[in-house]
Each structure stands twice: as structure tokens, then as C-alpha cells.
Structure 1
Amino acid sequence: MSRRRGGVSDEDRRLWSQVAASAAPLPGQVRRNYAPLTASELKPTAVLPAQGQAKPALPIPDAPRFSMQPFRIGQAVKPPRATASLAPTPAEALASVPVAMDHRTHRRMSRGKLAPEARIDLHGMTLAIAQPVLERFVLAQHSAGRRLVLVITGKGKAGGVDAPLPVRPGALRHHVPMWLGRAPLGRVVQQVTPAHFRHGGEGAYYVYLRK
């Protein structure tokens, strides 16, 4: 059996002639003699574009777009400013604490309409000295039956709010609310709020004691 490369073998031609000869025509149809298919007829042909017609181009995905800031030669490049998430201020932290005392009394106290029964000034003290002094003062006022006391801490130096604790100026203003909320003072303190401006504003706290 001989077979030309890329074409149809003699055996294929013989088989096709036998099949064509044994095929019976449909009723009313005339029998035709089917000649064996040539190699060019059996070979698959590729569909080529017409002459002068460009091949269809594949879709190209859009390139990412980048926006650049205007820049001139010799211009100094400023590094991007780092944005750090700072902790909330004492006033913001205390504002999120639920009111644990009589709402009417709390409203009058926040508006500066209640006069503190005692006060202590921690301004200028270090953290190590101020904490035990505050604890003795609050416990003594609670034992004496007083309800509203004023704790003065000072506002701290201007422009130092971004410094890390405990070296941040005004560290007392940030630590005093924490001291008042934990042992041994947490069991006798009912509410802590920033003082009204007539009693020191952000540099002082109202401390409402339990009975």
C-alpha cells in the first residue's frame, strides 16, 4: 500500500469506491457514479483573508493609567506625609463613656452649674508623685461624704500633643482619667467629665463620687 505524504492513500481510494458503488439511491432519484475524491478535496483548507484585507487584530487590554503630579527640573521633592492614628483625647474618650449618674445632675455639672465641694491641684507634679496624692485625696473626700470634687491637671504645653506618652507635655491630663477608673479609686468614682471652662476647662476634671 502506497501513500503519498500529505495526501490520500490508494487503500482509502479503494474503500471510498466500494462505498459509493454500494449506495442505493432514494426513490425517484437517479443513481450516480461517484468518482473517488482527490487528495485536494479531502485535504482540509484554511480560510484566508481576502487579498489586501488585514488580519483581525486581537483585543489588547487597556494599560493601567498613572497620574503624575506636575514636576519641574530642579524642584525639591517632598516625601509623602505620614499620617499616624493618634489616640483619642481625654475629652473624646470620656464623651464615649455612658452616663452612670442622674442625667439632670450630670447636665448641670457639665454646664458648670454645680460648685465642686473640694479641689486638688496636681499641676507641675510628676506622674509618680501625682498618682498617690490623687488616691489619698479622692478616698478622703469619699469618706467625708462629699460628692463632687475638682481635680486640676493643667492643659500641658502647646504643640506637644503629638509626643508619645509619658514624655508628652500634659501627661497628667491623660493619666488622671485612667487612675480614676481603676483600683483603688474605681470603686468610689461614679463619673468623670471634663470641667466647664469656668472651673478650668480641659485642664481639669469633675469627679462625681458614689455615696
Structure 2
Amino acid sequence: MSKVVRSLADLKPLARELAAARLAAEVERERVAAALRLAEQERRVFELTVGPVTPLRQVDRVLHEREQPAPEPRQREADERAVLLQALSDEIDIDTLLDTDETLSFRRDGISLEVVRKLRRGHWALQGQLDLHGLRRDAAREALGQFIHDSARRGLRCVRVIHGKGHGSPGREPVLKGRVRRWLVQKNEVLAFVQARASDGGAGALMVLLNGTT
């Protein structure tokens, strides 16, 4: 009988441990359930605040990639303008380079007199022109260099440069007339030039022949 009593006494601590374990498990279940309820409330906080929400209908969309603008070579263009400006000198002596006819025409070595005559007669169609009226010396020099460069690159054959007759200049002297001739002689793209015919500007303009088959 005493052995049975001792056995029952030994079971009491075990029973207390089992009860404590059940209580702890119940507490953990309640904690997890409470955390899930709180998470659901946070997920639906907007809906719970403003009322029932109807999801928007899904619409298929096509996303277009935005085309990037082409880079602008500003530094290269600035460098080219500087080279064009520096390359054309006002000091060069061109008297020996001009044909001593009534218009002081110019033809590069290897260009025949017949080419000059054709240019004077308007053999080549006029494809472009530059008007230097109102420009100061440096601006006119830069504009002319850029114009000749761009015209030759585009494949133009015959262009007109209007430098004016000097009627509006101090002393009524054609300030740009002589300079334009100096600048053109220094441009390798220029094969020849002559004074324009009266109908094309006369003494206030030059007809210029650029690189190409003559």
C-alpha cells in the first residue's frame, strides 16, 4: 500500500508540468491569433477607414521606351569654329594670286581660264548664298568660313557670297570686299571665284566655285 501512495505522489509534479505546458501552448496560440488579426487590420486599414473598395479593372498597357536625344557635339563644333576663325588671316597678300582682269577673279592652280569664264557666264546653277551685310569683321570671317565648309561638305558646287558695295561704310569704302577675297583664297574648298554679274549682285557679290568635277 505504501508503494502505491509513493507512486501517486511522484505523478503530481508530472501532472503540474503537463498543465503548465498546456497553458503555455494556449497562450502562444492566442498570441499568434492576435498577431494575425492585427496584421489583417493593418493590411485593410484603407478599406476599414473609407469603406468597401472596388479594385480597378486590370488594363493591358504597352510601355514605350523613351528615345534618348542624340548627343550634341557642342565642344567639337566650338573647336571647329575656333579653327575656322583662326585659319583665315587678314594679312595675307593675294595680289599675285588674283587674275588681273576687270574683276580681279581667282582660280586655283590647275583650274583653267575656261572654268573661270564658265563661272562668270553662270554655267553652274546657284545652289546657296551667304549675305554678310551688317556683320563686323570677326563675325563675317567666322560666318564665311563656316558657310564654305558646310557648303562643300553638302556637295554644293556654286554659291554666292554677298559682301556689299560699301555704300554704307565710313568713307563709302567696301570694308568687307577685299577681306572676303583674302579669306576665300585661303579656303581649300574654293576652286575659283569671280565678281557676280549685274543681275546677281554685281560688284557687291562673288560667285564661288567649290570642290567638284569641273
Which has the higher relative contact order, 1 or 2, with Cα contacts under 8 A spaced 6 or more apart?
Answer: 2
Report the TM-score, using the length of structure 2 for normalisation.
0.46
